[in-house]
Structure 1
Amino acid sequence: MTVQDFRAFNRFYTNVIGALDYSRHLYELAHSPHTDAADLRSELSLDAGYLSRILNRFEQDGLIERAPSQRDPRRRQITLTARGRETADLLAERADESVGALLATVPATDRPRLSEALHTVRTLLSDPPPTRPEDVVLREPGPGDLGWIVQRNAALYAAEYEFNADYEGLVARIVADFAEDHDPHLERVWIAELDGRPVGCVMCVRDDAPGTARLRLLLVEPDARGLRIGDQLVSAVVEFARGVGYRDLVLWTNDILGAARRIYQRHGFVLVAEKPHRSFGQDLVGQDWRLDLHGSRE
């Protein structure tokens, strides 16, 4: 991406949303936990002179009142007047209506892609995530986590690979089969949690072949990648499968999933077969991978 690409996107976004500094700053003032001008300037990353001009206009329009701060008389406390709150609420309502009308033009099948794209922009341009893999906790699924696995798989694969609803159906069947009938001694699900929220998952289930386990539905959220969460999840499956006595661990994936494939290779999986197929609305190359649990050690 070039500077020109980014500026073109910014002009497009501004034109579509109709963003105006006047309404945006009044909204931020109405919802800010800080009411001192200095705190507000820091929170909004605004130049002192620019913020002063905005506040002067708000005051002239009868939207705010300024008085010495009770915490520090050297500071100025800003409060919205009744008219200011009414105006802020009206602007917020109009903004919601405008965005709602805009989203109504987006087909339902494209909304997951749009949501993921917006999430990606915010993630890449925000502060980086924690860089310590030890902050990640692997745990058993709790209420709602199995549904989360289905939803996040469907949304991410739609956004990143344009998979259609057939893939969501496949994931839903895999998860439902596990929820309805599984042996807790031989099958497990892991949820990777970071800062109190799920950011990854993987499953280990029995395969049709005797003595064989199957790794399924490995996923890591985009904003949590780079913390070796995928490696931790695959390690958990390998250790569990070996510990309960499976001889082999197998998985099926597609060749476009390069990052996942590199994780499997690091853990000793070997490609045993591949075949082109048409699935999930895409032309793909399916791959079968196998790990000999008795002949390999990480």
Structure 2
Amino acid sequence: MNQILNTPRIDKMRAASRHIVRELGFMQKGLAGTELSPSAVHTIIELGYGTVTNASDLGALLHLEKSSVSRLIQKLQNEGLIEVGPDPSDKRFRVLSLTQDGQSLLGDVERFARGQLRSALDVLSATDVSQIETGLILFAKSLSAKGARVTGALPEVEVKEGYRSGIIGSVAQLHASFYSKYYGFGAVFERKVASEMSEFMGRIDNSGNASFSAYVGNELLGSVSLDGEDLRDRASHLRWFIVSPKAQGMGIGSLLIGKATAFLDDNAFDRTRLWTFKGLDAARHLYEKHGFTLAHETPGTQWGTEVIEQEFVRHRGE
């Protein structure tokens, strides 16, 4: 046993944890300003972020039995907050998603929860806030590690920078398989990713260019690149952001975008642009969390299928 984890210290942390639970409203009937149960609120949040897309993954994430998940989904369907549809790639399976009312509720929950934290942390110094942030992240990681020891999941993730052998093909494959399955993109899109990334990797060592990739062993679980040359005028281009479906819920997307925005600030780019399309709610959440705002959207076919193309912009320091 770790000798620093004596009983008085453990009891102090338990008391602090109980206080947090009470103050954040987990003991009340509703959670986050809603009339929903905690499991229902978490379902709205995780579906909105794209962490899970089906009942099986939802049950595993929330540690609920199959029957409990079924009742939860039925209740949220009846209330018009989620909808269940066929998986485009396999009609035997069902995909969960938020309705417009569900999206609206997600926005309300986010504003409520962020407001709670802001009001609590506003009285503290920047150093204290940083310590709390680090402590909570480490605590969450330790809980995940505990589960990993039981289930064998969540192995150690390593973020590597720059060109790595096989990265072009791996990134193209992740893009092609994901966007083909969920959005019907085909050869035009796959060729575009592979050819443009190949050109970029030929100049990856130039100043202002970077690529960050998350690996477990030799398996690529996510990647993002920053092209500091193609837009000129002190503007960077965030490109080829992708996270493997098997890595959802591991925090890899946030880790990669965090690495990217730190690089942008360190290299003093005035602004950063990225192009995506409407409907990628989990990615949009990460972009907005790290300072990007929607600047423009219009119908387009640059990826081979007509979608509502979106441009996001981040200004330095945001």
Q: Is the 8 A contact 1:139 1:191 kept in 2?
A: yes
Structure 1 residue aligned with 2:203? 181
CA distance in 2, matches of 1:184, 1:236: 18
2:176 matches 1:149: no
Deviation at 1:163, TM superposition (A): 0.4
- Unaligned runs of 5+ residues in structure 2 are 1-53, 57-88, 96-149
1:259 aligns with 2:271: no
Quick one: distance in 2 between partners of 1:183 and 1:157?
A: 29
Please give the secondary structure, in 1, of the residue aligned with 2:291: coil
State the Cα deviation string for residues 31-65 of structure 1 (Å, max 9, x = none). Answer: xxxxxxxxxxxxxxxxxxxxxxxxxxxxxxxxxxx
Distance 1:129 1:255, change over 3 A: farther
Deviations 1:92-147 (A, max 9, x none): xxxxxxxxxxxxxxxxxxxxx68xx99x9xxxxxx977358xx3211033211122
Contact 1:253 1:286 in 2 (8 A): yes
1:279 and 1:286 mapped to 2: Cα distance? Answer: 9
Please provide the CA RMSD for this pair: 2.8
The separation in 2 between residues aligned to 1:277 and 1:137, in whole angstroms, is: 36
Q: Provide the C-alpha distance between the structure 1 equivalents of 2:153 and 2:260, rounded to a whole number of angstroms.
A: 24
Aligned residues: 175
- 8 Å contact 2:231–2:237 — kept in the other structure? no
> How far apart are the structure 2 equivalents of 1:205 and 1:2?
38
Matched residues in 1 for 2:151 and 2:274: separation? 32
Q: CA shift at 1:247, angstroms?
A: 1.2
CA-CA distance at 1:234 after TM superposition: 0.6
Aligned positions of 1:240-259 closer than 5 A: 240-259=263-282
What CA distance in whole angstroms lies between the structure 2 residues aligned with 1:270 and 1:186? 22
Q: CA–CA distance in 2 between the matches of 1:269 and 1:165?
A: 29
- Name which one, 1 or 2, has greater alpha-carbon Rg: 1
Match of 2:296 in 1: 273
Deviates more, 1:256-265 or 1:178-187: 178-187
Please name the residue that 1:203 is paired with. 225
The verdict on how the C-alpha distance between 1:131 and 1:144 changes in structure 2, with shifts beyond 3 A counting, is closer
Structure 1 residue 282: Cα displacement: 2.7
1:19 is aligned to: none
Residues 162 and 235 of structure 1: CA distance in aligned 2, closer, same or farther (over 3 Å): same
Q: Decide whether aligned partners of structure 1 residues 129 and 276 sit closer, same or farther in structure 2, where only a CA change above 3 A counts.
A: farther
Letter in 2 for 1:170: K
Q: Secondary structure of 1:282's partner?
A: coil
Aligned in 2, Cα 1:2/1:187: closer, same or farther, shift over 3 Å?
A: closer
Residue 130 of structure 1 corresponds to which residue in structure 2? 153
State the 1:183 CA deviation. Answer: 4.1
Q: TM-score, normalised by structure 2?
A: 0.50
For residue 199 of structure 1, give the secondary structure of its aligned residue in structure 2.
Answer: strand
TM-score for both structures, normalised by structure 1 = 0.53
Which secondary structure state, in structure 2, belongs to the residue aligned with residue 193 of structure 1? strand
Structure-2 separation of matches of 1:2 and 1:270: 32
Matched, 1:224 2:247: yes
Give the Cα–Cα distance (whole angstroms) in 2 for the partners of residues 269 and 291 of structure 1. Answer: 4
